[in-house]
Amino acid sequence: MPELPEVEVVRAGLAPALAGATVLGVSVLDERALTRHTGDGAHFEAALTGRRITGAARRGKFLWFPLEDPAEDAPTEAIVAHLGMSGQILLRAPGAAPERHERVRLDIQHPDHGELSVVFADQRTFGSLALDPLVPTPDAEPGGIGTTDAAVPAQVSHIARDPLDPAFSDAGFRAALARKDSAIKRVLLDQTVVSGVGNIYADEALWAARIHPETTARLLPTRAVNRLLAEVRRVLEKALAEGGTSFDAQYVNVNGQAGYFAHSLNAYGRTGQPCPRCGRPIVRTSFTNRSSHFCPHCQRVPRHRG
């Protein structure tokens, strides 16, 4: 599933094309792409046609594209997008041939770039688009990356800020961990605590911070929490600089290009290979419906006092 860097690469690619663009028309080819939308395909098409998009924003793994409201000073609605496991949002020339697994197409007119097509393609149909109202952020800070409005889509309001968000609270993160009896990796994947960190980057950050994934979160000393948070940011920023992690053709940017952070992984997916730090083999263990990858020598099993 795409994680924060992959989704941010898409957002950054879409922003110049969407900000200030007017929706000329919408074609819903598969209503399974509208599972989070309250209406049907015809409603989605009618509700968006003629609307002006003001930008592209992101919180965690969610994207949204605010829509201008002539009666208000700030947008009150947005198109919300979640890529699910295999979703793609691609920019294409107007009238371009349909993409494989294309579900929805928006034809837009941009004052600088002219006409473009925005294509939502999704092989496994777990991704979605929806029209959603914007609600105020509890902390009165901008809703996420790419927006200055203190608002977030209602469907995204339960999602925590991500570590690259300027409004992310390090103190709040430390306080949340101090209340958690769960394993630290489970907490990192809890999108209500910290968003955008998925299985790949959790494994990478824990490896870099020398923390075993099963360490109880509340037992981590402040120094270790600070080190982990720094490594989470470092890993996400490095992946972002390299275009994200692509293991197959499903994870691409708006131009259909794959990221190459997979070549920089130290733990994830390297079962049996030597740890880049100590040379011992990386091991893989079951973790809920996924797997954890770590170095048992560098990331020692925690010894907790009873």
Say whether both 189 and 152 belong to one domain.
Answer: no
> Is residue 130 included in any domain, yes or no?
yes
Lowest mean pLDDT: which of 127-136, 139-148, 248-257, 283-292?
A: 248-257
233 labelled ligand-binding? no
Identify whether 304 is part of a domain: no
Q: Which residues on adjacent β-strands are paired with residue 52?
A: 22
pLDDT of residue 250 exceeding 50, the answer is: no
pLDDT for position 262? 57
Range of the domain at 197: 170-294
How many of the other CB atoms lie within 10 Å of CB of 68? 15
Give residue-wise pLDDT tens across range 16-67: 999 999 999 999 999 999 999 999 999 999 999 999 999 999 999 999 999 9
Give the residue from 133, 156, 179 where a domain finishes: 156
Do 188 and 103 share a domain, yes or no?
A: no
204 with 74, same domain: the answer is: no
Q: Are residues 134 and 220 in the same domain?
A: no
* Last residue of one domain, picked from the residues 96, 125, 156: 156
Whether residue 135 is found in the same domain as residue 26: yes
pTM here is 0.90
270 is in an annotated binding site: no
With respect to residue 215, please indicate whether it lies within any of the assigned structural domains.
yes
Residue 124 labeled ligand binder: yes
Q: Which of 213, 215, 255, 209 is nearest to 233 (CA)?
A: 209
Q: How confident is residue 249, by pLDDT bands cut at 50, 70 and 90?
A: very low
Across all residues in the chain, what is the average pLDDT? Answer: 91
Considering the domain boundaries, does residue 165 fall inside one?
Answer: no
Same domain, 30 and 137: yes
Secondary structure of residue 98 in the 3-state scheme: coil
Q: Say if 246 falls within a structural domain.
A: yes
**Residues forming the active site:** 2-3, 61, 290
300: in domain: no
Mean pLDDT to the nearest integer, 207-228: 96
Looking at the fold, whether 143 and 183 belong to one and the same domain comes out as: no
What six digits make up the tokens of 46? 């009618």
Q: The domain that contains 48 carries what CATH number?
A: 3.20.190.10
Provide DSSP, 205-273: HHHHHT--TTSBGGGS-HHHHHHHHHHHHHHHHHHHHTT---SSTTSB-TTSPBP-GGGG-SSTT-TTS
The enclosing domain of 268 has a CATH number of 1.10.8.50
Q: Structure tokens of 216?
A: 């109880």
Residue 18 lies in a domain: yes
Q: Are residues 106 and 174 in the same domain?
A: no
| Cα–Cα distance for residue pair 87/124, rounded to 1 Å | 8
Is residue 88 within 8 Å of residue 123, measured between CB atoms? no
- 112 found inside a domain: yes
8 A C-beta contact, residue 26 and residue 117: no
Q: How confident is the model at residue 272 (pLDDT cuts 50, 70, 90)?
A: very high
User: Is 191 found in the same domain as 47?
Assistant: no
> E strands within 45-86?
57-59, 62-67, 77-82
- 152 and 174 part of one domain: no
Both structure tokens of 185: 């990796």
Domain-ending residue, one of 156, 187, 211: 156
Question: How many CB atoms are closer than 10 A to CB 49?
Answer: 14
Whether residues 16 and 113 share a domain: the answer is yes
Tally the domains of the chain: 2
Q: Which residues contact 206 (CB under 8 A, 6 or more apart)?
A: 184, 185, 188, 212, 213, 228, 231, 267, 294, 299
| Structural tokens at position 180 | 């958690």
Q: Give me the sign of the Cα torsion angle 192, 197, 198, 202.
A: negative
Residues 10 and 152 in one domain: yes
- What is the signed CA dihedral for 231, 283, 261, 61, rounded to 10 degrees? -70
More confident residue, 46 or 198: 46
